[in-house]
A and B are shown apart, each in its own frame.
Chain A
Amino acid sequence: MLDLILSIMLALFFLSLSFALGRKILSLFSFPLSFHEHILFSTVFGVSFFGLIFFFIGVFQLYYLWFFILLFLLLSFLFCKDILSFFSGMYSLIKTLFPYRYTSFFIRLSFLILSLFVLANFFFSLTPEIQWDSLVYHLTQAKLYASHHGIVELPYDYHTYMPKQFDILYVLGEVFALHQTAKIFTFFFNLFLMLGIFFFVRRYWNYDVALLTSTLFYTIPTLALYQSTTYNDIPATLFLFYSCYSFVLLLQTLNKKFLLLTGVFLGAAAATKILLLSLLPFFILALFFFSLQQKISLQNKKYSSFSLILSKACFFLDALQLFLLVFLFLSPWMILTDTQVDNPVYPFFYSVLDGGHWSASLEEYWSTLRADYGSGRSVSSFFLSPWYITMEPMRYGPVYGITPLFFMFLPLFFFFMLFSRSSFFSSPLQKKICFFFLFFSLFFFVVWFFLASDIRYLFPILPALTLLSVLPFFHLLQSSSLGRRVIPSFLLLLLFTNLFFFFVAHRNTVQVLFSIQDKESYIHSYVQNYPMAQWINAHLSDDVLLFIANDDRVYFYDKPYIQGYPIIQGVIDYPSLQSAFSLYSLLLEKGVTHVVLVKHHATDDYTSFEGYYNEQITNLWLALVTEYGTLITVQDDVALYTLN
Chain B
Amino acid sequence: MKKDTLIDVSIIFWIIFITLLYFFYRITDILTLLGLI
Please report A residues at the B interface, Cβ cutoff 8 Å. Answer: 390-392, 394, 399-401, 403-404, 407-408, 411-412, 415, 421, 476, 480, 482-483, 486-487, 490, 493-494, 497, 500-501, 504, 507
Contact = CB atoms under 8 A, between A and B. Distances in A.
Nearest to B23: A497
B12 to A, nearest CB: 5
Contacts of B19: 404, 408, 490, 493-494
A391 B15 contact: no
A234 to B, nearest CB: 23
B15 to A, nearest CB: 6
The listed residue with most A CB atoms (<10 A of its CB), out of B18, B23, B33, is B18
Contacts of A400: 30
Contacts of A500: 30
Interface in B1-37: 4-5, 8-9, 11-12, 14-16, 18-19, 21-23, 25-26, 29-30, 33-34
Interface of B: 4-5, 8-9, 11-12, 14-16, 18-19, 21-23, 25-26, 29-30, 33-34
A483 B26 contact: no
21 contacts: A391-B21, A391-B25, A391-B26, A392-B25, A403-B22, A404-B18, A404-B19, A407-B22, A408-B14, A411-B14, A415-B11, A421-B4, A476-B11, A480-B4, A480-B8, A480-B11, A482-B8, A482-B9, A486-B15, A490-B19, A507-B34
A486 B12 contact: yes
B19 to A, nearest CB: 6
Given A500-B30, A501-B30, 20 more contacts: A391-B22, A391-B25, A401-B26, A404-B18, A404-B19, A404-B22, A407-B18, A408-B14, A408-B19, A480-B8, A480-B11, A482-B9, A482-B12, A483-B11, A483-B12, A490-B19, A493-B19, A504-B30, A504-B33, A507-B34
Contacts of A391: 21-22, 25-26
Contacts of B11: 412, 415, 476, 480, 483
B17 to A, nearest CB: 9
A476 B29 CA distance: 32
A98 B3 CA distance: 39
A483 B14 CA distance: 12
A400 B22 CA distance: 12
B34 to A, nearest CB: 7
